[in-house]
Amino acid sequence: MDVLLHGERVRIDRAVFVELLENSVVSGRAPYHHALERDEISYIDLLELARKAEVPHPLFFAPLALVQTQVRTKTEKLLQGVAPDTFTVNTRTTIKLRDVELIIKDLLRKQSLARKHDPSLIKNKIVGLLRRPSATVREDADKLLAALGLDVDALRRVRTKELALEMLIERVEAKQILVSRSVRGYMPQILDGVHFSGMTVRDPKVPYIFLTGGDHGDFQEPPGRQIFTLMLMVVLVARGIFAPVTYDANSNAPEAGREYDIVGEILMPSHELEAVDIDGLDAVKAVADAFKVTPSAMAVRGMRLGKLSAETALGYLGELKVEFQARPKPGRLSQPKPVNAIRKYNGRALTTRMLRAVEERRLTEREFCRVVCLNRLSPGELGELKAALR
């Protein structure tokens, strides 16, 4: 393809152009696609794409073999915080790293930024806490609850599951575990057609948990499912497991894994469920609401504790599926305000820490806007972002 400069054409390898930009934040932008369609691009547009993708522009004029080596080396270094295998529970679904690679790279950059500019960070006390299993699942659950300082009763007392999720995120972030949530249009990668629960990204001080949206294909309301998902990924951080995560919360598989059972013991303790009546779907729903989980999770938990037969649990799951499918489909959601979208995707903790670094002149406003906001906010809008965090 040709690069246009002052009326002159300079030939570059189309494969080099694609290699450098296809897996970058600019791969979905019009100038990139127009260049591929027309087999040409202006030098000014090339420089702009290179700047946004953080690619040294001389590489576009380098041999393909050299470029491939550079990209491979950079990718291996960037992805060292995430295992290539998917952590799965009750499902055979796997996630290809290329489907989430740009998000991983972005979260790794933000972890690096936090370590560099926040001197208050200490070695994380949750990472690896449960690497050596205790004698029982209950002991592991109690150990993690104590380390988090999490009051499960307080979690249940809040009015809605949405508020319970926010409370849980606040408690997790208070322990230097950053929590990012999917926001379409404000992430470096679109996740259309990619169904998974989230991922954990390694760091000795500020591990990241990324939660996807509510569409998991397993017929559960998003807030209740995300409470279970977040708790599962906190357990994975404590177990020292860092990988994309996917699980089928409706499965009645007999061997779900210790991590799954630890979450069940935290959110739906066996000693409390012993005295609870879950005979009938309405009872399952009522108890699930009280424990701030989904009815599906309560049905599976009841089955695993022997309070429900597998046949009864499967029947409840089938009824819940039919009810879920019969619900009115939500209309097109309005796009959130940029400051709220950025706060949700980065997480309140990371955003707050980096704004403090800006105030204390350890980080420039321009670098904050570039790395934390992906240039979706200008320095003049940071006051609005601060107000959104209050």
pLDDT in tens, the chain (390 residues): 999 988 899 999 999 999 999 877 687 788 999 999 999 999 999 999 998 888 898 999 999 999 999 888 877 776 677 766 676 666 667 777 777 888 888 999 999 999 999 999 999 999 999 999 999 999 999 999 999 999 999 999 999 999 999 999 999 999 999 999 999 889 888 787 777 888 999 999 999 999 987 544 444 567 888 999 999 999 999 999 998 888 766 655 555 688 989 999 999 999 999 989 999 999 999 999 999 999 999 999 999 999 999 999 999 999 998 888 887 776 666 778 999 999 999 999 999 999 999 999 999 999 999 999 998 999 999 999 999 998
Q: Is 361 left (phi over 0), alpha (psi -120 to 50) or beta?
A: left
Structure tokens at 88: 């799965």
In this prediction, residue 112 carries a pLDDT of 93
In this prediction, residue 69 carries a pLDDT of 93
β-sheet with 178-181: strand ranges across: 87-89, 244-247, 198-201, 208-211, 178-181
Rounded-to-integer distance, Cα 86 and Cα 94, Å = 6
In this prediction, residue 72 carries a pLDDT of 85
CA dihedral (302, 304, 308, 310) positive or negative: positive
Rounded-to-integer distance, Cα 326 and Cα 273, Å = 30
Burial class (CB in 10 A: 0-12, 13-18, 19+), 153: exposed
| Exposure string for 176-188, b = 16+ CB within 10 A, e = fewer | bbbbbbbbeebbb
User: CA of 76: how far to CAs of 84, 106, 210, 371, in Å?
Assistant: 11, 14, 20, 20
In this prediction, residue 71 carries a pLDDT of 86
Which sequence spans correspond to the domains of the chain? 2-78, 82-326, 338-388
